[in-house]
Amino acid sequence: MLNIGILGCGRIGQVHAGSIRQIDGARITSVADAFPEPAAALAARSGARVMGSLELIESSDVDAVVIGTPTDTHYDLIHAAAAAGKAIFCEKPVDMSAARIKDCIKAVERAGVPFLTAFNRRFDPNFANLQARIAADEIGAVEIVTILSRDPAPPPISYIQSSGGLFRDMMIHDLDMARFLLGGDEPVSVYATGAALVDPAIGAAGDVDTAAVILTTASGKICQISNSRRASYGYDQRIEVHGARGMLRAENMLENTVEIATDAGFRKAPAQHFFLERYAAAYRAEMAYFLHAVREGGSITPGILDGLRAQELADAAALSLAQGRPVSLANEG
Amino acid sequence: MLNIGILGCGRIGQVHAGSIRQIDGARITSVADAFPEPAAALAARSGARVMGSLELIESSDVDAVVIGTPTDTHYDLIHAAAAAGKAIFCEKPVDMSAARIKDCIKAVERAGVPFLTAFNRRFDPNFANLQARIAADEIGAVEIVTILSRDPAPPPISYIQSSGGLFRDMMIHDLDMARFLLGGDEPVSVYATGAALVDPAIGAAGDVDTAAVILTTASGKICQISNSRRASYGYDQRIEVHGARGMLRAENMLENTVEIATDAGFRKAPAQHFFLERYAAAYRAEMAYFLHAVREGGSITPGILDGLRAQELADAAALSLAQGRPVSLANEG
Amino acid sequence: MLNIGILGCGRIGQVHAGSIRQIDGARITSVADAFPEPAAALAARSGARVMGSLELIESSDVDAVVIGTPTDTHYDLIHAAAAAGKAIFCEKPVDMSAARIKDCIKAVERAGVPFLTAFNRRFDPNFANLQARIAADEIGAVEIVTILSRDPAPPPISYIQSSGGLFRDMMIHDLDMARFLLGGDEPVSVYATGAALVDPAIGAAGDVDTAAVILTTASGKICQISNSRRASYGYDQRIEVHGARGMLRAENMLENTVEIATDAGFRKAPAQHFFLERYAAAYRAEMAYFLHAVREGGSITPGILDGLRAQELADAAALSLAQGRPVSLANEG
Amino acid sequence: MLNIGILGCGRIGQVHAGSIRQIDGARITSVADAFPEPAAALAARSGARVMGSLELIESSDVDAVVIGTPTDTHYDLIHAAAAAGKAIFCEKPVDMSAARIKDCIKAVERAGVPFLTAFNRRFDPNFANLQARIAADEIGAVEIVTILSRDPAPPPISYIQSSGGLFRDMMIHDLDMARFLLGGDEPVSVYATGAALVDPAIGAAGDVDTAAVILTTASGKICQISNSRRASYGYDQRIEVHGARGMLRAENMLENTVEIATDAGFRKAPAQHFFLERYAAAYRAEMAYFLHAVREGGSITPGILDGLRAQELADAAALSLAQGRPVSLANEG
């Protein structure tokens, strides 16, 4: 039996706790949160006790911690958990600063603890299937990767202001996905463009809500990413990969399979609304993978280095947009 | 150069003339119609002369005739053309009476002239592809054939009254398609049900506007056909065939490939409106096949016997509906 | 807190127990099975105790029972549970005999206990959405309902022999779905055809593996149903409903959303394999509906009368096939 | 009756001649080509005479010329036709040099003759429908345009060498489409990346075969374009446009509508092979538009200025790739 401690009992902590409760061989022994109510609620739901964060990390009946707290607390929690020899499941981003992530990498490597950076989309059954088929050479060498990600609606301006900006908050998932699909051929150049087309207040806050990025690798592979904070038809999450012998693409998951035909034509349901529905299976698979890997040993992907690489790409994209030029990863990343 | 005479210069005669004008090695030398205006118009458009029907049939510069006149004139024209040794392209139905079709068969066989019954849907590129892949054993032995055919809107009651009824006027295409797809395994039983759900006036005229039929073959294969005189979303023409190893299905052709996504979901265009658009390619391919076959010799399918078989199935369906019981083809067809 | 007893700890009992464990406000207090191992396993997984069936039914900490035992035991369990005043969730079919179902109806009505006949497909989010939109008049009055259901592969002959035949074992789901979609306009005539095209051994066992049925209602509505025990591409479960103003159809759920394009064309994944995957959400929704209805009171649909009606339609279809004629429900059902 | 002269009797000249032959109110009176055989063949097929190019342009029974000759001859033919007061239908590109196109613009404007730059894709029924619906405000203000264009296979190296490079030969269609869809909001910046991933010989010839471009407009709209000289599954031609209230996208046209389902899943036909099939309807609509516009007067779009703008974008993309930086149109175009 693997004993798990949950750090952060907000929405994402609850999601991960729900996954753990459905997996045999693991249980939640303790939870922690800065606020007593969500901690008490999740403890009751999970049959666990409430503790302070550091107390939880050092508790003898905690084998692994799930870090779902605000990003600025990750650094200290990772250091503490690594020092305590606990396996770490850490929400993305690891930290907003690449330099601080490098510090975390040192702590994790020194301690030799298992670490998963929770880029949940790698575990989506559709995207995982697509990536596995690239790896199985179903379409030959990859040439162009196209990733589209659009939220149904922008978050509050207060969220935008503390988010680190679209590239670090939203596109970071797509940048990690690009690396996942490019299969080890790392981007060496990033060119970004963007604007506040959805809400001028986002522009006034110094951010963009609509953006496109081109990544290029040393061997000439191309990745196009586009993002928007708005999509009237649901959470738009698509991937298309062209290789020497064909294309693989993953379409959206719709709310249902029903189609209506009238004089207006043939109409299907909107896409599933947002990430909790769209990535429900991904969250379960991600946690199952982590718990299995901790139990069985062996390497974990995406690890903390993947967290760093995605952050570096996001930083490069933000720099590119600010300076209006492509940014080289080799020199500046 | 193959010289063609057009009998009947209405809508369908014009369609066939248009096909001939696009085919190298054939030309329209003469046209005939009961009314002078359409004859003159088609003659001008085709560089042909206007003649009387029998005069045209006996003309030395006519090698083949295209019969697109009202159904009740087919009998005499077929006999005259057969006697004159002309190849015959005859619109469906050959005749409303199976007995009279048998007379025509004798005349055609005696004369040994090429004869095509114009079941145009066999030449639709989609349906022809589907049938060829059944014949190529892509799905194994056929088990269930499902054919759906819905007109966009009912014809005028005056048309209904002289149409011979839904089974002989509309479903006859589907009954021929069933035989085409069942590949020689002839239906031995027909069960029909139907009602006037679209327009009570159709019921008052003694006909139905909504119907479903089950055909069964001696070996147990099943064919389901459904028809309606109404479809708000365009001309609905679909086929689905299940075999031992899989399924083949042909979807509708839509007006265009554009899809719009809004908060109402994902919407595509309606189906192509009606038969002139939907079967444009089929009409061209049908005529090209006929002209090629006349020039090269060899058997022609669908021939006049196929015209008879479809009529017998339509008669059996009408009888089944009238009597509320399945009708056996072996005994009563 | 609603206390539930599980009668039958086989595959379907485990599915229902899993649903209950995910629903707040209900718990499994006791389980029963003819075999000790599955009972012990499910008890352990659910934090429940193992009891004898009748002991469980009469237990004071059981408010409702879930009957997932072999069909021939339903009769006695329903009578016992009704007598004990327990709410009843009963797997389909209620019984193989319409006469015995009528006995059960009397017992249930006398006791006034809530009863759900577990036609799970009514709770499938896709089919439920489709039905709700018919009820909301999105396509006008229903004209033709088409239901297709194909299993991925035939069951063992031993199963076939005790199954009651394809119409009672497999098509009964579709017959109930037809009633669900026809919205109170009950079928008055059933015509069935069928053959053993998949496996001659099924024919030798006196059953068919391929069948098509036409239902007609008093007002002339038509329902086409086709069934096969074989589908190479997964569990094929589709519905299409035509109404005066349009069509609603529910397509299959595929294993994933990934499409590959190569020189062979565009290829998507097979349909989800079989009922446990395909109807996972339906099972959860069905149980949530039952528990909510028991707690809140009010009528339950599908009730035990729906179980009878579906059985009568299946009986009529079997009779129609045996006698080669349509069977009238009013006279003979 | 409008009298047309065809300049250039190769593949594209034959396509345009075929369109004219199907349009009432226009006829081909004369044809010219550097080689006698194709000229004689097209003349015979069209009932026209063979003439020298300049003789044809000055002929009194030529009202409009169709220029389908090699690109380096366009300049002289446009000047001659403009001087002779003839309406001009000119294949793209108008010329490889933006400076020389500007000369042509002066000649055309001085003469006041109708001029169409044959960006045929604007007339594709799918793309035209998509653009019309943007113009009709179906999705609100445009935010991101994504255009994908992939040829089924690379042309011979000899063609590549004289093509002007991928941006001027292939992507020029997409650059014009971007302008068509952006609706007057002109791109002000172009960033291009590309590589020879399909065939190293293309790289050795100084060109790329795989490329992606980002255009940005003054108001912040973004257009992503990707091109490849290879697509195993047919000619890939797709457009997707995101606006404030939704998305419009045009999918590929497949060879047929047939889908096969087997244990490998659901497979549709490849996309139509190449431009002659895919854009058959576009070529007809383009010529019909031109002839109608010449007859009725009024402005013609895309005109010669559109030919210049697309060329300037292609030049900018080539420069961007060469220098590894975004190129500003305002300063350098």
Look at A45 and C134; give whichever has higher pLDDT.
C134
Decide if C212 and B214 are in contact by the 8 Å CB cutoff: yes
Distance from CA of C234 to the nearest CA of D (A): 7
Q: Which of B251, B268, B273 to mutate to test the interface with A (most CBs of A within 10 A)?
A: B268
Sign of CA dihedral B292, B294, B297, B300: positive
Alpha helices in chain B (DSSP H): 11-21, 36-46, 53-58, 71-83, 98-111, 125-135, 157-161, 166-169, 171-182, 200-204, 275-278, 280-296, 304-323, 329-332
- Residue D193 in contact with residue D208, Cβ under 8 Å? no
pLDDT tens digits, D260-273: 999 999 999 999 99
Instruction: Tell whether D256 is within 8 A of chain C (Cβ).
Output: no
**Subunits adjacent to chain A (3 or more Cβ pairs under 8 Å):** B, C, D
Average pLDDT over residues A120-125: 98
Nearest-Cα residue of chain B relative to residue C230: B244
**Superfamily in which the C122-278+310-332 domain is placed by CATH:** Dihydrodipicolinate Reductase; domain 2 (3.30.360.10)
Average pLDDT over residues A299-315: 97
Contact list, A265 vs chain B (CB under 8 Å) = 233, 254, 267-270
**Residue D5 CB-half CA count within 13 A:** 28
Do strands C187-195 and C210-217 pair parallel, antiparallel, or not at all (unpaired)? Answer: antiparallel
- For the residues of B159-200, what is the DSSP string, one character each? HHHTTT-HHHHTHHHHHHHHHHHHTT--EEEEEEEEE--S-H
Decide if A258 and C130 are in contact by the 8 Å CB cutoff: yes
C-alpha closest to that of C332 among C213, C219, C207, C190: C190
Decide if B191 and C196 are in contact by the 8 Å CB cutoff: no
CB neighbour list of residue C137: distance below 8 Å, 6 or more residues apart: none
C-alpha closest to that of D31 among D23, D20, D22: D20
- Residue C279 in contact with residue C121, Cβ under 8 Å? yes
pLDDT at D77: 98
Sign of CA dihedral D201, D204, D205, D207: positive
Decide if A191 and D326 are in contact by the 8 Å CB cutoff: yes
CB neighbour list of residue B85: distance below 8 Å, 6 or more residues apart: B111, B113
**Subunits adjacent to chain B (3 or more Cβ pairs under 8 Å):** A, C, D
CATH 3.40.1160.10 given to domain D2-113: no
Which residue in this structure is represented by tokens 């066992």? Answer: C205
Q: End-to-end distance of chain D based on CA atoms, in angstroms?
A: 42
What are the residues facing D66 on neighbouring strands?
D6, D89
pLDDT > 70 in chain A, percent: 99
pLDDT at B331: 44
pLDDT at C22: 86
Decide if C133 and A260 are in contact by the 8 Å CB cutoff: yes
CB neighbour list of residue B165: distance below 8 Å, 6 or more residues apart: B206, B207, B208, B318
**CATH architecture for the domain at A122-282+310-332:** 2-Layer Sandwich (3.30)
Q: Does ipTM surpass 0.85 in this model? A: yes
Decide if D222 and A211 are in contact by the 8 Å CB cutoff: yes
- Residue B28 in contact with residue B20, Cβ under 8 Å? yes
Give Rg (Cα) of chain B.
20
pLDDT at B333: 38
* CA–CA gap between residue B122 and residue B181 (Å, rounded): 9
What average pLDDT does chain A have?
96
Q: What are phi and psi of D100, to 5 degrees?
A: -70, -35
Decide if A269 and B265 are in contact by the 8 Å CB cutoff: yes
pLDDT at D22: 86
Decide if C233 and D269 are in contact by the 8 Å CB cutoff: no
**Subunits adjacent to chain D (3 or more Cβ pairs under 8 Å):** A, B, C
* CA–CA gap between residue A166 and residue A149 (Å, rounded): 12
H/E run at residue D172: helix D171-182
Contact list, C269 vs chain A (CB under 8 Å) = 129
Query: What residue ranges do the domains of chain A occupy?
Result: 2-113, 122-282+310-332
Contact list, D232 vs chain C (CB under 8 Å) = 261-263
Decide if C249 and A259 are in contact by the 8 Å CB cutoff: yes
Which pairs from A39-44 meet CB under 8 Å and 24+ separation?
A39/A9, A41/A9, A42/A6, A42/A9, A42/A13, A42/A14, A42/A17
pLDDT > 90 in chain A, percent: 95
Ranges of residues in chain C with a pLDDT under 50 are 331-333
**Residue C282 CB-half CA count within 13 A:** 20
The shortest CB-CB distance from B250 to any of D249, D252, D257 is to D257
* CA–CA gap between residue D67 and residue D296 (Å, rounded): 21
Do strands D187-195 and D87-91 pair parallel, antiparallel, or not at all (unpaired)? Answer: unpaired
The shortest CB-CB distance from A233 to any of B232, B263, B269 is to B263
H and E: helices and strands count for chain D: 14, 15
pLDDT at A331: 44
Instruction: Tell whether B282 is within 8 A of chain D (Cβ).
Output: no
Q: Which of A193, A227, A249 to mutate to test the interface with D (most CBs of D within 10 A)?
A: A193
Distance from CA of D262 to the nearest CA of C (A): 5
Q: What SS3 state is found at D133?
A: helix
Instruction: Tell whether B117 is within 8 A of chain D (Cβ).
Output: no
Instruction: Tell whether D320 is within 8 A of chain A (Cβ).
Output: no
* CA–CA gap between residue A70 and residue A32 (Å, rounded): 13
Sign of CA dihedral A44, A45, A50, A56: positive
Contact list, D262 vs chain B (CB under 8 Å) = 139, 245-246
Contact list, D238 vs chain A (CB under 8 Å) = none
The sheet that has A2-7: what strands, in order across it? A49-50, A26-32, A2-7, A64-67, A87-91, A115-118
- Residue B257 in contact with residue B200, Cβ under 8 Å? no
* CA–CA gap between residue C163 and residue C207 (Å, rounded): 10
Helix axes D11-21, D36-46, angle to 10 degrees: 10
Nearest-Cα residue of chain C relative to residue D261: C233
C-alpha closest to that of A143 among A248, A242, A246: A242
Ranges of residues in chain D with a pLDDT under 70 are 331-333
Decide if D324 and A326 are in contact by the 8 Å CB cutoff: yes
Torsion-angle region of C97 (φ positive above 0: left; ψ -120 to 50: alpha; else: beta): beta
- Residue D255 in contact with residue D274, Cβ under 8 Å? no
* CA–CA gap between residue C295 and residue C63 (Å, rounded): 10
Confidence check: pLDDT of B43 > 60: yes
Output the six-digit token pair for A60: 């003898």
pLDDT at B22: 86
Please give the class, per CATH, of domain B122-274+309-332: alpha beta
Contact list, C268 vs chain D (CB under 8 Å) = 265-267
pLDDT at A311: 97
Distance from CA of D199 to the nearest CA of A (A): 10
pLDDT at B24: 86
Instruction: Tell whether D41 is within 8 A of chain C (Cβ).
Output: no
User: Within 10 Å of residue B43's Cβ, how many Cβ atoms?
Assistant: 22
* CA–CA gap between residue C10 and residue A196 (Å, rounded): 57
C-alpha closest to that of B77 among B118, B32, B29, B42: B32
* CA–CA gap between residue A54 and residue A83 (Å, rounded): 11
The shortest CB-CB distance from A247 to any of C253, C257, C261 is to C261
Distance from CA of C130 to the nearest CA of D (A): 23
Output the six-digit token pair for D14: 């034959």
Average pLDDT over residues B178-205: 97
Decide if A263 and B269 are in contact by the 8 Å CB cutoff: no
The shortest CB-CB distance from A266 to any of B262, B264, B267 is to B267
Contact list, C324 vs chain B (CB under 8 Å) = 189, 326
> What b/e readout covers B240-272, taking b as 16+ CB neighbours within 10 angstroms?
bbbbebbbbbbbbbbbbbbbbbbebbbbbbbbb
- Residue D145 in contact with residue D241, Cβ under 8 Å? yes
Instruction: Tell whether D195 is within 8 A of chain B (Cβ).
Output: no
pLDDT tens digits, B246-299: 999 999 999 999 999 999 999 999 999 999 999 999 999 999 999 999 999 989
* CA–CA gap between residue D329 and residue D189 (Å, rounded): 6
* CA–CA gap between residue A328 and residue A237 (Å, rounded): 27
> What b/e readout covers C7-42, taking b as 16+ CB neighbours within 10 angstroms?
bbbeebbbbbbbbbeebeebbbbbbbbeeeebbeeb
C-alpha closest to that of B48 among B7, B90, B89, B91: B7
Q: Which of D260, D268, D279 to mutate to test the interface with B (most CBs of B within 10 A)?
A: D260
pLDDT at C333: 38
Please give the class, per CATH, of domain D122-277+309-332: alpha beta
pLDDT tens digits, B211-259: 999 999 999 999 999 999 999 999 999 999 999 999 999 999 999 999 9
Nearest-Cα residue of chain A relative to residue D139: A232
Q: What SS3 state is found at D126?
A: helix
pLDDT at D24: 86
pLDDT at C332: 39
User: Within 10 Å of residue A276's Cβ, how many Cβ atoms?
Assistant: 14
Task: Tell me how many residue pairs between chain B and chain D have CB atoms under 8 A apart.
Answer: 70
pLDDT at D331: 44
pLDDT tens digits, D12-41: 999 999 999 988 899 999 999 999 999 999
Distance from CA of C270 to the nearest CA of D (A): 4
Amino acid at residue number B322: A
